[in-house]
């Protein structure tokens, strides 16, 4: 990341830049990548940089051949010390909403456990892929709290209300195969191929017009009552763009050559 836009040094994240994308690896292996206050602050720094310089974001976790870990939830020691005022700050929910609102798509490459806040981080991504050893779950009610960082509404949107209620009321965990069957994840890949699969998705996104991608993401996030007006306004912007003319001219030229 731009040194002016990130703390020095990052202590809970590993960051790799690759032109049109940024790959962020959650890196607290000693705590199963639990999301603590430092990680929250560092992810906000990543968001600030991507808001200024929009690029695709890939989020993954430190894993080993023997054990996959995306994020094992929020840091329970810190949660135990939080009270009403901290809950009202929405510490994790504000971060995950900010990630969901990033201008360009967010891809979560999930290997191993994605539990509690870790699952909610994955739910905030635009596209999720996983390894066969991945497990999603929200056990918050067993700890006397609720899944307040997005699962109580994002999960229902992603997998449907009946399954979301079962997960949130009973603590049921979803295997990778179940997550694929309910379309919580788009595809499954071997652990050592997962990041390459995420990069391949990013490659396909990068082939599209960046402004068209950004506006498509905004339109998808708009409330139903805003349609079709928001679609038409976004299309009006794109119809006047230089990229639209150039890309359509290139398409017509290819069509002419192949005919």
Give the residue numbers annotated as catalytic, written as ranges.
120, 140
Task: Give DSSP secondary structure letters for 2-17.
Answer: -GGGS-SS-SSEEEEE
Phi, psi of 251 (to 5 degrees): -65, -45
Contacts of 79 (CB under 8 A, 6+ apart): 143, 145
Given a contact cutoff of 8 angstroms between Cβ atoms, the answer to whether 158 and 131 are in contact is no
Please enumerate in sequence order all residues whose Cβ is within 8 A of that of 124, keeping only pairs 6 or more positions apart, or say none.
96, 97, 99, 100, 106, 150, 154
Q: And the tokens for 216? A: 């498509």
Tell me if residue 35 falls in helix, strand or coil: strand
DSSP percent split of the chain into helix, strand, coil, nearest 5:
55, 15, 30
- Report how far residue 156's alpha carbon sits from residue 233's, in angstroms, rounded to the nearest whole number: 29
Q: With beta carbons less than 8 A apart as the criterion, state whether 52 and 109 touch.
A: no
Give the separation between CA 250 and CA 236, rounded to whole angstroms. 21
């Amino acid at each position: 990341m731009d040194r002016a836009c990130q703390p020095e040094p990052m202590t809970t994240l590993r960051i790799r830049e690759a032109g049109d994308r940024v790959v962020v690896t959650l890196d607290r292996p000693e705590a199963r990548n639990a999301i603590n206050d430092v990680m929250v602050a560092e992810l906000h720094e990543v968001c600030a940089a991507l808001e200024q310089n929009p690029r695709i974001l890939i989020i993954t976790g430190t894993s080993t051949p023997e054990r996959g870990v995306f994020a094992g939830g929020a840091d329970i020691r810190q949660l135990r010390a939080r009270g009403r005022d901290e809950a009202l700050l929405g510490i994790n929910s504000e971060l995950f909403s900010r990630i969901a609102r990033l201008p360009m798509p967010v891809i979560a490459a999930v290997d191993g456990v994605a539990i509690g806040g870790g699952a909610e981080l994955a739910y905030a991504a635009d596209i999720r892929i996983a390894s066969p050893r991945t497990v999603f779950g929200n056990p918050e009610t067993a700890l006397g709290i609720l899944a307040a960082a997005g699962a109580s509404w994002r999960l229902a949107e992603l997998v449907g209300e009946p399954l979301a209620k079962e997960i949130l009321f009973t603590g049921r965990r979803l295997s990778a195969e179940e997550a694929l069957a309910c379309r919580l994840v788009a595809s499954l890949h071997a652990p050592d191929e997962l990041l390459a699969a995420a990069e391949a998705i990013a490659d396909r996104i990068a082939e599209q017009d960046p402004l068209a991608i950004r506006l498509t993401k905004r339109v998808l996030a708009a409330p139903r009552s805003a349609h079709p007006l928001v679609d038409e306004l976004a299309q009006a912007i794109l119809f006047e763009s230089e990229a639209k003319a150039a890309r359509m001219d290139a398409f017509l030229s290819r069509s002419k050559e192949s005919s």
